[in-house]
Structure 1
Amino acid sequence: MLLTILYIIGISAEAMTGAISAGRKKMDWFGVMFVASATAIGGGTVRDIILGHYPVGWIKHPEYIIITCTAGVLTTLIAPWVARNQRLFIALDSIGLVVFSIIGCRVAMDMDLSPLICIIAAIVTGIFGGLLRDFICRQPPLVLHKELYASVAMFSASLYLLLHWYGIDEIIAVVVTLISGFCLRIVALKFSWSLPVFHFEQEQTEQ
């Protein structure tokens, strides 16, 4: 129940950030709803297809499509408010990232897949929505540049798996993972933590 509530909050926040990106590209309402939904539930869709986990989440629960499309259209009406409350949406996005990671890990665990695949499933669930948003909107993939994002998904999944390995109660495991992953994401943003960046420019050869 807790994960379901947090998931709905997470996909709503992700849908609104996707709608803002669509607005910057001057898309119509259909484009807004498409980008909003791709951002919010695209990661879970890609995960389910890769793992062969059917039916895909939003087909089993079509209300998620209604939620994301509604959040996208709503954003077109309150876009200035969304822009002014960027910190709130960063917090909601951080919660959503950890929740998506836990759910992705849980899906793979329920399929009796190896811990490595569980972690990969968590990362795919956490970051692919943002990758799809950036691809559709033709902008650099933000989740793979500088700030910790995929790393937070990997950390959250690893912690969740570790807690289960030691037989920790499910609710406690979820709460501990949620708080730890959220704090890591916020602290990383505050202090600009990032992984080493690879930068390569090929030298021009003289003709």
Structure 2
Amino acid sequence: MLLVMYIVAIVVEAMSAALAAGRRSMDWVGVCMLGCVTALGGGSVRDMLLGHYPLVWVKHPHYLLITAGAALFTIAVARVMHRLRKLFLLLDAIGLVLFTVIGCNVALEMQLPFVIVIAAGLITGCVGGVLRDVLCADIPLLFRSELYATVSVVTGLVYVGGLQVALPHDLIMVIAMAVGLTLRMMALRFNWSMPKFVYTQDLH
């Protein structure tokens, strides 16, 4: 089941990246590359930082084909994508919490400290989107006031905290993902956001 959810998540991330590439008038190569970077970039950055090899797309090359194919498919159906906006927001939220749990699991298997485990979940969940936004010359969603990174951190804290008190793995995984998904969808519904830092004074 987790594998199916993971495939769905990387497909959704690749398709959302393809739309971002389309808004920047990229060619088909750019669309494919942005799709792959967005879908697989978070896990790749995490693995490089933690020294966890081989990278997931090196171990499973078909993930590159899936994400590139999803990005190209988006070109064909782009005209109707706006009708699926709510579905994509839901699937994106599921991908965020799922990637977070996967990232935490990698760090846990390496027996890394608690803070690093949470950071690994955050990197896995959010860095793909950061890479997408940077390549599209946008301010990354992670650095804006919208609740996104916060959702990843909360998901990771619930998940790892539950494991620390010896709750059943499958149960705490479902609980953590449910908490994160609910928080993300509530934030979207009610426009919850983090406080902004605004500084306009000239130092000269």
Partner of 2:162: 163
Distance, in Å, in 2 between the alignment partners of 1:81 and 1:10 is: 20
Which of 182-191 and 161-170 deviates more?
161-170
Alignment of 1:81-96 (within 5 A): 81-96=80-95
Would you identify which runs of 4 or more consecutive aligned residues in structure 1 move more than 3 Å? none
Q: Secondary structure at the match of 2:26?
A: coil
Distance, in Å, in 2 between the alignment partners of 1:19 and 1:93 is: 14
**Per-residue CA shift, 1:107-127, capped at 9, x if unaligned?**
000000011000000111111
- Counterpart of 2:141, as a letter, is L
Report the Cα offset of residue 29 of structure 1: 1.0
Distance, in Å, in 1 between the alignment partners of 2:19 and 2:63 is: 19
Q: Secondary structure at the match of 1:19?
A: helix
The runs of 5 or more residues in structure 2 that have no matched partner are none
Report the Cα offset of residue 85 of structure 1: 1.1
Distance, in Å, in 1 between the alignment partners of 2:83 and 2:143 is: 25
Distance, in Å, in 1 between the alignment partners of 2:203 and 2:50 is: 43
- TM-score between both structures, scaled by the size of structure 2: 0.97
Partner of 1:193: 192
Report the Cα offset of residue 102 of structure 1: 0.2
Partner of 1:52: 51
Alignment of 1:147-162 (within 5 A): 147-162=146-161
Asked if 1 retains the 8 angstrom alpha-carbon contact of 2:93 and 2:185, the reply is: yes
**Per-residue CA shift, 1:125-184, capped at 9, x if unaligned?**
111101100111111112221210000110001100011112122211221111111000
Distance, in Å, in 2 between the alignment partners of 1:125 and 1:88 is: 22
Distance, in Å, in 2 between the alignment partners of 1:168 and 1:30 is: 46
Partner of 1:15: 14
Report the Cα offset of residue 202 of structure 1: 3.0
Which of 194-203 and 126-135 deviates more?
194-203
Alignment of 1:127-142 (within 5 A): 127-142=126-141
Alignment of 1:108-127 (within 5 A): 108-127=107-126
Distance, in Å, in 2 between the alignment partners of 1:173 and 1:59 is: 30
Distance, in Å, in 2 between the alignment partners of 1:189 and 1:112 is: 35
- Counterpart of 1:189, as a letter, is L
Q: Secondary structure at the match of 1:200?
A: coil
Distance, in Å, in 1 between the alignment partners of 2:57 and 2:32 is: 14
Report the Cα offset of residue 192 of structure 1: 1.1
Count of residue pairs brought into register by the alignment:
204
Distance, in Å, in 2 between the alignment partners of 1:14 and 1:204 is: 41
Report the Cα offset of residue 204 of structure 1: 6.0
- Counterpart of 1:43, as a letter, is G
The runs of 5 or more residues in structure 1 that have no matched partner are none
- Counterpart of 1:40, as a letter, is A
- TM-score between both structures, scaled by the size of structure 1: 0.96
Asked if 1 retains the 8 angstrom alpha-carbon contact of 2:141 and 2:148, the reply is: no
Report the Cα offset of residue 35 of structure 1: 0.3
Q: CA RMSD in A?
A: 1.0
Distance, in Å, in 2 between the alignment partners of 1:5 and 1:41 is: 15
